[in-house]
Amino acid sequence: MKNINILNTQILSDNWYTLKKVSYEMISMNGQKTILEREAYDRGNGATILLYHKEAKTVILTRQFRMPTFINGNDTGYLIECCAGLLDQDNAEDCIRRETEEETGFRIDQVEKVFEAYMSPGSVTELLHFFIAAYSGDMKLHEGGGLQEENEDIEVLELAFEKALEMIKTGEIKDGKTIMLLQYAQLKGLM
């Protein structure tokens, strides 16, 4: 049963990403037809990964400045996160391999996709692909830090897994994708 009919799509902004205003007719569960308007921010789909070292019981995370968090009460604007990036024209696995090397300096051998999730479905179209991968010191090719031409200034952090879990409780880690992957690792007993 098709209960959504797009009536009109208007581009409100096409600067950094695309902000659209969508008018649509919806038939509700009780059969009533309603015309609604919503804005949707299309930034493309992305991928994220938790690098873990089973024997050392450590994870690799990053710290970088995030303007939206700064203007919404994060005093420093810096977030501790799992490595992530937009797919651009790549598939999710190629994207996360590229982003891992650029941001962390690690060239990973095998990645495992664990799930997909919409992170903010009320306003953002992005579908995020979640991965995990084991790492070791011999996989480190360079210091990481991101791409200068993309103005990335990323600090690479190697943390004890238990410390990272504690940082969720203390509020030092507030990034949703990171919390999800750390909790996934805990539930699956990866370390």
39-85 residue pLDDT tens: 999 989 999 999 999 999 999 999 999 999 999 999 999 999 999 99
Give the span between the Cα atoms of 17 and 59, in whole angstroms.
31
For the residues of the chain, what is the DSSP string, one character each?
A: ---EEEEEEEEEEESSSEEEEEEEEEE-TTS-EEEEEEEEEE---EEEEEEEETTTTEEEEEEEE-HHHHTTT-SS-EEEE-EEEE-TTS-HHHHHHHHHHHHH-B--S--EEEEEEESSTTTB--EEEEEEEE--GGGB-S-----GGGT---EEEEEEHHHHHHHHHHTS---HHHHHHHHHHHHHT--
Is a pLDDT exceeding 90 seen at residue 33? yes
| Cβ–Cβ < 8 Å for 39, 47 | no
pLDDT digits (tens, 9 = 90+) for 6-19: 999 999 999 888 99
Location of structure tokens 């990964």: 49
CA dihedral of residues 183, 187, 189, 191 (deg, nearest 10): 10
Query: What are the pLDDT digits (tens) for 135-188?
Result: 999 999 887 877 666 667 899 999 999 999 999 999 999 999 999 999 999 999
pTM, full prediction: 0.92
- Asked if 130 and 184 count as a contact pair (C-beta separation under 8 A), the reply is yes
Contacts of 173 (CB under 8 A, 6+ apart): 61, 80, 164, 167, 179, 182
Could you give the angle at which helices 161-170 and 176-188 cross, rounded to 10 degrees?
130
What is the rounded CA–CA span in Å between residue 17 and residue 157?
A: 29
